[in-house]
Amino acid sequence: MISPRLKVNRYLKGTSLALGVMMALGVSVQARAVTTTRIASGLNSPLYVTMPTGDFNRLFIVEQHGRIRILKNGALLDSAFLNVDPISVCCNERGLLGLAFHPNYAHNGFFYINYIDLNGNTVIARYHVSADPDIADPASGVTLKTYTQPETNHKGGCLVFGPDGMLYAGAGDGGGANDQHGTIGNGQKPDTYLGKILRLDVDAGPPYVPADNPFVGTVDTFPEIWDLGMRNPWRFSFDRLTNAMYIGDVGQDTMEEIDYEPPGSTGGRNYGWRCMEGTLCTGMTGCTCNAPNLTLPINTYFHTGGNCNSITGGYVYRGCALPELYGDYFYAEYCNGHIWSFRYDGVSKTDSTEWTTTLAPGGGLSIASISSFGQDNYGELYICDYADGEVYKIVPNSYADCDSNRVDDSCQIAMGISADVNSNGIPDACEVVCACACAHDPACDGVTDILDVATTINVAFRGAAAITDGDCPAERTDVDCTGTTDILDVTHIINVAFRGGAVGTEFCIPCNCHPFPVGCP
């Protein structure tokens, strides 16, 4: 059996190949108007949206005040999946800040959270789901890492499992302004977790340090560190197709930035804070501005034109419903709700686009205070509206959605989530599709052989009429239910009779089988 995760990965890579081939052949991808639709409201300061690998029916929404909520089949459940409010402190930039499900969550039930405890310090902890899949065991918490926070802001908090199965954790520089912590600041200080991206092997046991982390064995340097020189990495993600990492790092007073780590990186990168803010020299100590050992951002913007000072990193779109957006990296500005995208091939940035107006939901709704994006297992994207307590989904202006689950029917079929046995583009769950057990056996004698081939040929090409039979549909030779018995039906029968084809079932609307199979009217 192919795992859901493998199915997703194969689908994503296959979609990329198909789009590339179409463009190479000069075939245009039909663009559709894009908008957003509200999928959840009444939330308390939502900060993040995610889902376990292989789960296509539930979205998990992180609320800053300590609760993880579940949106299941489009409905927000009353009971929280987990509530750590009694052991965490909120708010400002504190609270429950991150959530990541173990890649093997379907089997081990482990998930990980990042929160600020009652002493104001960061805790990265593992929890376990209970016997009820919609409720976690609150007593199952195990602390993996904890570290002191000197201020009330710049906590980072993002948790993401990378394509290597390791858990990546973002840590801010400890807060205040200009990283005034010691002579070089926490961002450049090697013996603190602050101002870093950490990388943990959660399956290895304490101290959870991967053997191939870049600073393992380096004197006076914490081995959990993967990258340094961060100010406040507020949301980072891995491109599902290329495995590249995109990091949104919040600036000080002048510039916001998106950092990029290429596929196959061995870590150890220095993103420049506090001697650099984006591409600007700050004049502060800790490193040398524009030094060769620093990794500069691939995208920046100034705090002008209404932009304040808090970037929200996002995702590269790898979904199905909007092929024209495939490969676009989306990010936003928290303070005023601006949304942009660009494409990056590892060398150059192209197709910079602003989406703020286009993605406005309308109908009296608005998206403000974008605290995070989210991505589901279809590769579709979501937006968290912190101030209004809402979550929106980026969708086409119009699309087929017969079961009203806000997922394009064609994507459900392409991902193998919904069956479409008669290949008409409509999920079988939305129509009465019945299976006739005598398909591929027009003669109804229990075996598919030359007699069935001859019967089908006679109906298709020699004017023979179908014979009404109480045990078979009248149009029993119309295997593919097109309304006509033709060469395709003859081919079906030949494949079963002589080429080892599976003896399938006939799918017709309405069903005219006798006796009626289970599920038929």
Domain that holds residue 11: 4-399
Q: Are residue 275 and residue 234 in the same domain, yes or no?
A: yes
**How many Cβ atoms sit within 10 Å of the Cβ of residue 280?**
17
41 belongs to a structural domain? yes
Whether residue 308 sits in one domain with residue 255:
yes
Q: Does residue 475 surpass a pLDDT of 80?
A: no
Q: Which pLDDT does position 504 carry in this prediction? A: 52
Is 419 inside a domain boundary?
Answer: no
In a domain, 404, yes or no: no
Banded pLDDT at 30 (limits 50, 70, 90): very low
Residue 517 inside a domain? The answer is no
- Give the model's pLDDT for residue 476: 63
Least confident of 46-50, 148-152, 307-311: 307-311
Share above pLDDT 70 across residues of the chain, in percent, rounded to a whole number? 84
Q: Looking at the structure, do residues 382 and 446 belong to the same domain, yes or no?
A: no
Question: What stretch of H or E contains 180?
Answer: none
pLDDT by residue (tens digit) across 337-360?
Answer: 999 999 999 999 999 999 999 999
Question: What distance in Å separates the CA atoms of residue 320 and residue 312, rounded to the nearest whole number?
Answer: 24
Beta strand segments in 148-206, E: 159-161, 167-171, 196-200
Any idea which of 12-16, 278-282, 467-471 has the lowest mean pLDDT? Answer: 12-16
Q: What is the pLDDT of residues 425-448, one digit of tens each?
A: 888 778 755 555 455 677 767 778
Question: How far is Cα 321 from Cα 273, in angstroms, rounded to an integer?
Answer: 38
Q: What are the tens digits of pLDDT across the range 189-245? A: 999 999 999 999 999 999 999 999 999 999 999 999 999 999 999 999 999 999 999
What confidence score (pLDDT) does residue 436 get? 52
Average pLDDT over the chain, rounded to whole? 87
Res. 254: pLDDT tops 90: yes
369, 374, 380, 382: CA torsion to nearest 10:
-30
Report if residue 513 sits inside a domain: no
183 domain residue, yes or no: yes
Predicted local confidence at residue 517, as pLDDT: 40
In a domain, 278, yes or no: yes
- Which residue's structure tokens are 């092929």? 323
Q: Is the pLDDT of residue 19 over 60?
A: no
CATH number of the domain at 166, please: 2.120.10.30
d(CA 425, CA 421): 9
Confidence of residue 260 (pLDDT cuts 50, 70, 90): very high
168 and 54 together in one domain: yes
- Calculate the CA 249 to chain-centre distance: 20
Residue 234 sits in the same domain as residue 295: yes
Q: Is residue 89 part of a domain?
A: yes
- Of 378, 399, 420, which residue constitutes the final position of a domain? 399
Among left, alpha and beta (phi > 0; psi -120 to 50; other), residue 508 is beta
Same-domain check for residues 385 and 495: no
460 and 361 part of one domain = no
Residues 324, 211, single domain; the answer is yes
Distances (CA, A) of 64 to 113, 267, 371: 12, 30, 10
pLDDT of the residue at 439: 56
Please check whether residue 313 is in contact with residue 304, taking contact to mean a CB–CB distance below 8 angstroms: no
> 45 and 109: one domain?
yes
Q: Can you spell out the DSSP letters for 327-357?
A: TPEEEEETTT--EEEEEE-SS-EEEEEE-TT
DSSP of 22-43: HHHTTPPPPP--EEEEEEE-S-
Give 95 or 515, the one with higher predicted confidence. 95
pLDDT digits (tens, 9 = 90+) for 360-410: 999 999 998 999 999 999 999 999 999 999 999 999 999 999 888 889 999
Asked if residue 71 lies in contact with residue 58, where contact means CB atoms within 8 angstroms, the answer is yes
Going across the sheet that includes 122-129, the strands are 96-101, 110-116, 122-129, 136-147
Same domain, 274 and 353: yes
pTM reported for the whole predicted model: 0.81
Q: Are residues 205 and 123 in the same domain?
A: yes
- Between residues 3 and 463, which one has the greater pLDDT? 463
Give the count of domains, the chain: 2
* Same domain assignment for residues 123 and 239: yes
pLDDT of residue 420: 82
The larger pLDDT score, comparing residue 175 to residue 6, is at 175
